[in-house]
């Protein structure tokens, strides 16, 4: 396995970031917590606030959440909620940054998240952006634009700063720059074999929601420099794309299984993957409209219909010379579970085999998934 200093450095980034946030808060800067890609960072940063993502990817707080919530909801929601309500008496140290958050900026996506946000209001002020559920309907864009305007007002109220057009444009430029860097990294993965494996790349994809913008860009720059000079050697391995639910920090189970069983991940169609950076915000348009246009197109399974996602998967499969797709869903994530059917049909038509894996954050099914991945790799070889 290749050694990347930039990724090694990320190991220390947690405590450094927490110290940075503590300093910012002392100087009066506000911190918001988010759970979803539909919340535009550009508006938060233009208001002079900072943000961190609060999505849980670890199993240890799931049982805490199950004292409050039904067991049959997705592990991402349970892990997040468990971290937030954990009073420390369980002996589990988790989500120490939650207590630093001034406000949660939530969004109406899946039922589990929506209902969790109603409960979170008891712990910290929670603002919900309402999303049109049919993004291609004629009224959707204007409705979403109105919601973003209201959200901008809420951020101005929280921070006491005016969100000017100039500041928004600066933040759009900055976020597009980050998106271009991810594109550059992905471009390098088109080589055969790719110079970086999927498990390594996931480390920075997961951290993108936690690091400050400057730190993220610095790490990305370093990683791109390291990856660019590698001349990949070795034998061909089956090129795999993962498609489906996000993999929040702490959740690397399935990519690890795939790459330890002979596959190489070349693309991730997920919110810890292409959905986070693929589309740019148009820098030539009025900034709020440009943001609304870009964000409403995120192909999340909470949207209906969501055919754009199927098209993206086919395009990625072609561009990255994908030989097999691992369709990954978290248990009880009905949106991604049901969309599997359409994705499977489209892939079948394109002649690309698909393996469906539905799992949670526990380790109990590692062996069983491993055996299924073995059989899939054998079929692809």
- Tell me which residues touch ligand BJ8 (CB under 6 A): 36-38, 74, 76-77, 109-110, 112-113, 245-246, 271, 298, 300, 302, 330, 333, 335-336
Identify the CA nearest to 120 among candidates 158, 155, 84: 84
Please list the residues that pair with 328 across neighbouring strands.
Answer: 244, 357
Rounded to a whole number of angstroms, the minimum distance from the CB of residue 148 to ligand BJ8 is 15
Q: Are 288 and 153 in contact (CB under 8 A)?
A: no
Rounded to a whole number of angstroms, the minimum distance from the CB of residue 75 to ligand BJ8 is 8
Q: Which is nearer to ligand BJ8, 265 or 300 (CB)?
A: 300
Provide the 3-class DSSP secondary structure of residue 168.
helix
Rounded to a whole number of angstroms, the minimum distance from the CB of residue 6 to ligand BJ8 is 25
Q: Which is nearer to ligand BJ8, 77 or 163 (CB)?
A: 77
* Alpha carbons 25 and 22: distance in angstroms, whole number: 5
Please list the residues that pair with 244 across neighbouring strands.
Answer: 328
Rounded to a whole number of angstroms, the minimum distance from the CB of residue 271 to ligand BJ8 is 3
Q: Which is nearer to ligand BJ8, 25 or 297 (CB)?
A: 297
Tokens of 214: 């400057």
Q: Is 139 exposed, middle or buried (0-12, 13-18, 19+ CB in 10 A)?
A: exposed
Q: Which is nearer to ligand BJ8, 38 or 45 (CB)?
A: 38
Q: Number of helices and strands (H, E) in the chain?
A: 16, 8
Rounded to a whole number of angstroms, the minimum distance from the CB of residue 113 to ligand BJ8 is 5
Q: Which is nearer to ligand BJ8, 197 or 251 (CB)?
A: 251
């Amino acid at each position: 396995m290749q050694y990347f200093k930039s990724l090694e450095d990320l190991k220390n980034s947690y405590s450094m970031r927490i110290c940075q946030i503590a300093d910012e808060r002392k100087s009066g800067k506000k911190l918001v917590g988010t759970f979803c890609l539909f919340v535009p960072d550009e508006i938060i940063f233009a208001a002079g606030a900072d943000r961190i993502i609060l999505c849980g990817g670890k199993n240890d707080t799931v049982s805490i959440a199950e004292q409050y919530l039904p067991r049959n909801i997705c592990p991402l929601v349970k892990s997040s909620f468990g971290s937030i309500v954990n009073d420390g008496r369980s002996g589990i140290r988790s989500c120490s940054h939650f207590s630093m958050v001034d406000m949660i900026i939530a969004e109406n996506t899946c039922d589990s998240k929506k209902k969790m946000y109603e409960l979170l209001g008891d712990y910290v002020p929670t603002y919900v952006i309402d999303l049109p559920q049919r993004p291609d309907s004629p009224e959707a864009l204007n409705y979403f634009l109105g919601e973003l305007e209201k959200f901008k007002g809420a951020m101005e109220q929280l921070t006491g700063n005016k969100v000017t057009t100039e500041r928004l444009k600066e933040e759009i430029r900055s976020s597009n720059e980050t998106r271009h860097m991810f594109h550059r990294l992905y471009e390098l993965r088109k080589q055969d074999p790719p110079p970086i494996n999927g498990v390594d790349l996931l480390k920075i994809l997961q951290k993108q929601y936690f690091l400050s913008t400057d730190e993220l860009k610095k790490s990305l720059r370093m990683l791109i420099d390291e990856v660019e000079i590698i001349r990949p050697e070795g034998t061909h391995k089956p090129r795999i794309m993962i498609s489906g639910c996000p993999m929040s920090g702490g959740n690397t189970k399935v990519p690890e299984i795939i790459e330890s069983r002979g596959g190489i991940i070349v693309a991730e169609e997920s919110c810890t993957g292409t959905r986070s950076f693929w589309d740019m915000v148009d820098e030539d348009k009025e900034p709020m409209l440009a943001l609304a246009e870009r964000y409403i197109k995120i192909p999340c399974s909470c949207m209906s219909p969501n055919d754009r996602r199927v098209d993206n998967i086919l395009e990625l499969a072609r561009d990255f010379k994908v030989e097999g797709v691992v369709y990954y869903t978290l248990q009880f994530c009905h949106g991604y579970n049901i969309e599997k059917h359409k994705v499977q049909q489209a892939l079948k038509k394109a002649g690309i085999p698909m393996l469906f894996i539905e799992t949670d954050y526990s380790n109990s099914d590692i062996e069983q998934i491993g055996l299924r991945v073995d059989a899939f790799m054998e079929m692809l070889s």
